[in-house]
Amino acid sequence: MYNPSLTESILIRGGRVIDPAHGRDETADVLIVDGVIQAVGRLEFTAQCRVIEAEGLVVAPGLVDMHVHLREPGQEYKEDIASGTRAAAAGGVTSVACMPNTQPVADDLSVIGYIQERARQSGVVRVFPVGAITKGLQGQVLTEMGLLQRAGCVAFSDDGRPVSDSGVMRKALEYSRMFSALLIQHAEEPSLSGGCMHEGIVSSRLGLPGIPSESESVMVDRDIRLVALTGGRYHVAHLSTRQAVVAVEQARRQGLPVSCEVTPHHFSLTDEAVIGYDTDAKMSPPLRSTTDRQALLDGLAQGVITVIATDHAPHDEENKRVEFCRAANGVIGLETLLPVSLELVRDGVMSLSACLAAMSCHPARLLGIPHGTLEVGRAADVVLFDPEESWIVDARQMQSKSKNSCFHGRRVKGRVKQTLVAGRVVYTDEGR
């Protein structure tokens, strides 16, 4: 996969090198030897080097997406590790954390081992399993998180099923604290979540049952209280509401080990995207109001929200091209992560370095993996992209098996030109 026998040296020459982990932003060269970053700066060319010309391009750490559904094992007709990692490479993503809602659930050593072996066989980027918090994602009996972490799990989550029992969540936080594991919660109060889109003016106009913002904020409030009680590390997946942003901000001010992520679709779209009953605008949590979206932008600008993740959720046509309320939740996002996130830079919400940090060193640190940086001595996971190239998103041309993109037809700026994993080129833009 990403650990080939390398004998050549590669010089990435003349790009704008941005490494947020070390505050670097300068025109420089990057020397890679045997898959490892050897030097960064103004370097001299030698005949032994293969040169990648990067003038006019940004050279950055390969992106780290901490919320991806690869669907293998069990739903390979939607996505598998081979296709999902190809999509990641096309999006400049070199490390993915794959969620445990597979079939069977990633709740024991055998499934984790299977995922790791399949990643070695067919993956083109790094794959880090996220283990389940409870067996079968049933919210009742805790998994052997300690053993799963030693086997390679970088975090734990019941993903689309929140741990709704407060006693179980308390025990999970207490148990995970023993080995400093990160718990990722899909924050949703099930008794408030019977609808199929955000509850508001748009849902009333469309005649669709709504999901109030409180369905998220109630769960976040509860969990933060349990974090204060236990000291466990807690991360809110795909934050979507103003109230939840406020709760996370208050928790961080108190010094609690609380973090959160936001998806590109939640910070760039609102519930108005559902007008027309477009099922590619159906996800969980749902697209929210303009007020909520602005709160997400403010949270990114102020550093309350530290991670941008895709919640890449592939679904086949059969599960998406049905009545809105019956359609599966979720959209693909690996191949649009970078250009949609760059809109934050053009709109003045974040600097380019801060934006890249939210997709590289910040998630890497939360997961405890040694990636998301161009530090000398680290594996050469690198993305080269043209921040000014304009293109129209065409889901039909994406590497993912599924085509359920909410950004199909959107004009974006910023295109990945090459992606390297451990010094090996795993994606090159062919001018599609």
Give catalytic residues, as residue numbers. Answer: 311
Q: What is the dihedral of CA 330, 331, 332, 336, to 10 degrees?
A: -140
User: Are 119 and 94 spatial neighbours (Cβ–Cβ below 8 Å)?
Assistant: no
Contacts of 342 (CB under 8 A, 6+ apart): 352, 355, 387, 412, 413, 414
CA distances, 279 to each of 70, 205, 331, 375 (Å): 20, 17, 9, 42
- Using alpha carbons, select from 116, 58, 120 the residue that is nearest to residue 419: 58
- β-bridge mates for residue 362, sequence order: none
User: Are 54 and 295 spatial neighbours (Cβ–Cβ below 8 Å)?
Assistant: no
Q: How far apart are CA 293 and CA 301, in angstroms?
A: 13
User: Are 339 and 415 spatial neighbours (Cβ–Cβ below 8 Å)?
Assistant: yes
CA distances, 294 to each of 198, 300, 349 (Å): 15, 10, 11
Angle between helix 109-122 and helix 81-90 axes, rounded to 10 deg: 60
DSSP annotation string for 390-413: EEE--GGG-SSS----TTTT-EEE
Q: How far apart are CA 186 and CA 160, in angstroms?
A: 6
- β-bridge mates for residue 205, sequence order: none
Would you say the C-alpha torsion 368, 351, 242, 329 has a positive or negative sign? Answer: negative
